[in-house]
Structure 1
């Protein structure tokens, strides 16, 4: 079986290499990934997938489906392909797209032989609004038996949990006045945003250890001799579980309201980006995938009890169906991690592509296990059923 998987993936390798390099060389921001989306749709159609374009109302999203000749599990592979402002593919999403598309195509033969449905989801804007959140809210993953993806990193590891995140734009409105001649006539919006940050700093002592609050002041006035009538900040909060995050965010927003009251300003609060749920990696599925990677000569680092200090819109998928996101090393840790220029360069290199092809093989072998061993899928679903659902 492994020999046949090797043959299929190696036969696809040149096309997949061209796909990932084309995406890498033409980075596009979230919800603007027109070329990356079109390239993936083209190759998936070539290999017999039925493609729903502009999926869930997003111009750069798609769902590509291959229905095997026999019934079987519904297996989803998740592609990402948005870039970072100023860094290009500094998170290596060009490789995530290659792996999802390549694995989906390579699974076709086994879907016909053993029975399965293969679905490749093109999920835009992971770095911003989170395309998977929109899809999850629309029920796109509710009938999937599993969802899988792989993310480039500095280490080869099983699926790790990530933090829930929410973000806000907080705007304070005051009144201008001459800062020397008549400061008493002004209402200082800069004071409000500074007080807001000071109150958040005081709040940190009473937060759980897994909580993170971080932000920037994006507007603070026009000139030092003018009392600022407008200030603005972007705030992000994270926590290991969504329930505590929602509690924490209410405290953060009360800090904003108090800062406005204390300075006489008014305050506006709105969303600044995506709200992602925490990731519930399905450990049974992750272990199954790790066993397949071991047959390919690679030992994956087992999952940590503590979540990674990062967030992903895969979290929303993980509340809808069993989901995993393993990682594969494309760079040494000392040379730079995700969201760096060094990582962006590595994401277009031979090492990254070859290792991505290896992980494609691992996902195909995992899919074959799911198709041929219903007891494995039963264990995966039993673990998933223990997750507390959210509306």
Structure 2
């Protein structure tokens, strides 16, 4: 029996103490109480600077946000090792980004094109009439749901507008993640068509949506981060190759570090806002360093020795994919820029090579090409033998 079914006894009716207790403590009292709290919680991501250990993971994530051209990061490891916590903390160390206020998703820089008045008429008119067409906002972490459909990801026809007889394309998750961070937890469980669409858009920086006679091109310049637990299934080699850096994340092995993790997590959960304020200064300093590194990256180049060592590594490891050296060189440039240098050296290659080159060698492909070479050699030998017989 619920408390709503209790009889309405008053104090004068001689109701028992048990009935009064049930009446006063049940759902009726909760529902009749004044609604002073809407139940909306403040969001305080764990500070990036408060993470303990996991140096290589933090370096990989930092390089990816300094230089999105690396192609993203894949975090591979068991549950509970801090992968998601680290990713969610990234938004706190990134500078604000410029976001368009126009329906065409246009920024002031886009209006410098000669055909801007034809391509973006509404936004062009607003901008030249003195109205603001963009604003700055903190970087967001856009998390992709595992049950997302392809239309949710790339966009599709606006169903509400279509019901009113108006056909209009609706932006998808990829477009809304432009200039932000796109995080895919359990990326190995994504359906193939969704995974392919995300990786293509991330590599090209834009994508095209076609629905019948309608078509739209959208920007997708986001930092791509994926995570997976290898116990729950492997990742297709084609998808694995698209991630620039790969990071194996294990639980901390050092006793003192594990104790410190416990203490910091305990403090964070007891009072998230106070914990975040405690690390506020360090986070702000780190954000400034990221901004400076991004600016320096535009002038950072590779030394000739760094290129020679990098290509030599790829060849000696028998890696076929050209994405290997591209990711490695871009990561080396980001590493140098983070260190305040405009020239990436062999030492930078040494630091980032394991991140960029691990899990790219394929014994299957090496054996496959060797067997093909043997077959080709056999074909040539037989051709020569038959040619000699004919001439004889």
Q: How would you bin the TM-score normalised by the shorter chain?
A: under 0.3
Compute the TM-score of the two structures, normalised by the length of structure 2: 0.25
Structure with a larger share of its residues in helix: 2
Higher Cα radius of gyration:
2
Compute the TM-score of the two structures, normalised by the length of structure 1: 0.25
Structure with a larger share of its residues in strand: 1
